[in-house]
Amino acid sequence: MSKPALPSLHQALKKSFHSLENNQRIWKSVLVECGPLMVSLENLAEQSRALSNVQISNTPLRDFPELEERLRFKLLKSTDTVLFKLNEKMSSLQSVRDSICNQVSAVFQLYEQNSDSVDLLTLTERSAATPSVSDMLEWLQDAERHYRQQFVRRKTLLQTLRADDLSALEAAPKRWKSIECPSAEDQITDTLCKVSFFIDS
Amino acid sequence: MEGQSSDITANSANRKSSAVTGSARKIKDNAADWHNLMMRWEKLNDEGFSEATNIVNIRLSRSTGDQMLQVDGSPSSSSSSSAASSSQQTGGAAELQDKCSKLKDIVDRMVAVVTKMERLMTSQRGIQELEEFQFGPEGRKFPLFHTWNTKQFEDSSRVLLDSYRQELRLKQTILQEVAHTATSDLCMVYLSCWLHQPYVPTETRLTLEALLLETGHRPL
């Protein structure tokens, strides 16, 4: 009974790891694009703060009508544009997360449908080139959890940012960086290495 | 942007083929000139911003150097180090002077752009006066292009010219002051004024696009 279920499970696992590999690449590239945007948020916040610290009426710029209001408006507008771009990046990250979640839950569904017919021995059996099904399911679940957590944390950070909340904007790049979890990211890369023979077979 | 600007300069070829003549011809050419001048302004603005940033960086690093010198103690106590730092300062001063003259060149070119804009305005007013002479105070019955009457072209030209005139004044003030400012906040305000152009609101771009659309430079 266990024989016909195993190849289809293997097939589904291969597909999931392929998709994980692609999605990891997309995720990384989106994060790289977010870096400069975060820095420009900080930069704009610094400019706004400098503007608040300066009493325009005591400077050579005093003769310019509405200068402070106009400049502040432009700064807010630029900040809004950057925040908008970041939100666009978030939707790319969201689609990566969704794609991974869908893949993983499809594999688990398939496993549960066949769980009666696949015995424990088959599930835990592994060879030099093929890790056991139970290990691979676990790795997939770990990866899925990582991306889900990462996405929620980043999304939450972005939602706390307002164009007029300067200290939050100034702290944004640091907080954005602190969300990074290189060990989990490395774990996923490790996993992909472990299954590389399996997914190419 | 580059593609767009070349789009319109390439219009000299279209000029012969299109049948537009007289006031309409003049207005259409003026619209293209507005576009090209505004593009040139943007380019100068970018160049000027990097020069102004250089000036501020030199200026701020020198002022922290001065402070360090004061913290060190009296300059007479260690003559060799003060001599070294003063030679460094004159080096910095020459560099500062160099950057300032580069920024001045850029502002001079901006002045030239605004002068050309003023000429466009004069030409637009001339067209308006000619029309009043030809058709009386109500102007012509049928619009030259799609819907605008001649007065509207003059109005939009004035909106554009006023923005750039005021922005130019701001740039000239920044040019005079930026190298003499030691407080980092004020330097930052100068730079952000230069970059964000508070007197050139986003609507100017819209006004220009409307002008280009009406005169047929942009397809409807």
pLDDT of residue A116: 85
Q: What is the pLDDT of residue A70?
A: 96
Number of domains in chain B: 1
Q: Nearest by CB to B188, which of A50, A56, A61?
A: A50
Q: What DSSP string describes chain B? A: -HHHHHHHHTHHHHHHHS---HHHHHHHHHHHHHHHHHHHHHHHHHHHHHHHHHHHHHHHHHHHHHHHHHHH--TTTSHHHHHHHHHHHHHHHHHHHHHHHHHHHHHHHHHHHHHHHHHHHHHHHHHHHHHHHHH-TT--SS-SSSS--HHHHHHHHHHHHHHHHHHHHHHHHHHHHGGG---HHHHHHHHHHHHH-TTS-HHHHHHHHHHHHHTTSS--
Does the beta-carbon distance from B186 to A64 stay under 8 Å? no
Q: For position A134, what pLDDT does the model report?
A: 94
pLDDT of residue B139: 82
User: Which pLDDT tens digits describe chain B residue by residue (220 residues)?
Assistant: 444 444 454 444 444 445 678 899 999 999 999 999 999 999 999 999 999 999 999 988 877 655 544 444 444 444 444 444 555 566 678 889 999 999 999 999 999 999 999 999 999 999 999 999 999 888 888 888 989 999 999 999 999 999 999 999 999 999 999 988 878 999 999 999 999 999 999 999 999 999 999 999 999 8
How far is the alpha carbon of A69 from chain B, nearest alpha carbon, in Å? 9
Q: What is the DSSP letter of A116?
A: T
Quote the minimal CA–CA distance from A36 to chain B in Å. Answer: 18
Q: What is the mean pLDDT of residues A25-41?
A: 96
Q: Does B169 sit within 8 Å of A74, measured CB to CB?
A: no
* Residue at B220 is within a domain: no
Q: Is B165 exposed, middle or buried (0-12, 13-18, 19+ CB in 10 A)?
A: middle
Percentage of chain A exceeding pLDDT 90 = 87
B100 is in which domain, residue-wise? Answer: 21-214
How many Å from the N-terminal Cα to the C-terminal Cα in chain A?
23
- Look up the ipTM and state it: 0.80
Closest residue in chain B to residue A69, using alpha carbons only: B198
- The whole-number pLDDT of residue B91 equals 67
Over residues A108-124, the pLDDT tens digits come to 999 999 888 888 888 89
* pLDDT for A3: 58
Structure tokens at B6: 């070349």
From CA A110, how far away is CA A105, in angstroms rounded? 9
| Amino acid B65: pLDDT | 58
pLDDT given for residue A118 in this prediction: 83
**Which residues, other chains included, contact A201 with Cβ-Cβ below 8 Å and sequence gap of 6+?**
A129, A130
pLDDT surpassing 90 at residue A172: yes
Burial A120-132 (b: 16+ CB within 10 A, else e): eebbeeeeeebbe
* Facing A47 at nearest CB: one of B183, B192, B199: B192
Interface test mutation site (partner A, options B184, B189, B199, max chain A beta carbons within 10 A): B189
Examine residue B16 and state whether it is found in any structural domain, yes or no: no
Number of other residues whose CB lies within 10 A of the CB of residue A65: 8
Global pTM reads: 0.82
Q: Give dist(CA B48, CA B41) in Å, integer.
A: 10
Q: What is the pLDDT of residue B21?
A: 81
The ranges assigned to domains in chain A are 5-200
Picking from B192, B200, B203, B206 by the largest number of A CB atoms within 10 A of its own CB, the best residue to mutate is B192
What are B's interface residues with A at a Cβ cutoff of 8 A?
166, 169-170, 173, 176-177, 183-186, 188-189, 191-193, 196-199, 201-202
- B180 domain residue, yes or no: yes
Flag whether B77 is in a domain.
yes
Q: Give A 70-89 residues with CB within 8 A of chain B.
A: 70-71, 73-75, 77-78
Pull the structure tokens for residue A114: 């066949």
A168: left (phi over 0), alpha (psi -120 to 50) or beta: alpha
At B66 the pLDDT is 55
Give residues 14 to 73 of A whose Cβ lies within 8 Å of B.
46-47, 49-51, 53-54, 56, 59-61, 64, 67, 70-71, 73
Mean of the pLDDT values across residues A18-23?
A: 96
Rg (CA), chain B: 24
Instruction: Kindly determine whether residue A67 and residue B170, on different chains, have CB atoms separated by under 8 Å.
Output: yes
Does residue B219 lie in a domain region? no
pLDDT recorded at residue B89: 60
State mean pLDDT over A149-164. Answer: 94
pLDDT of residue B220: 82
- A51–B202: do the CB atoms touch at under 8 Å? no
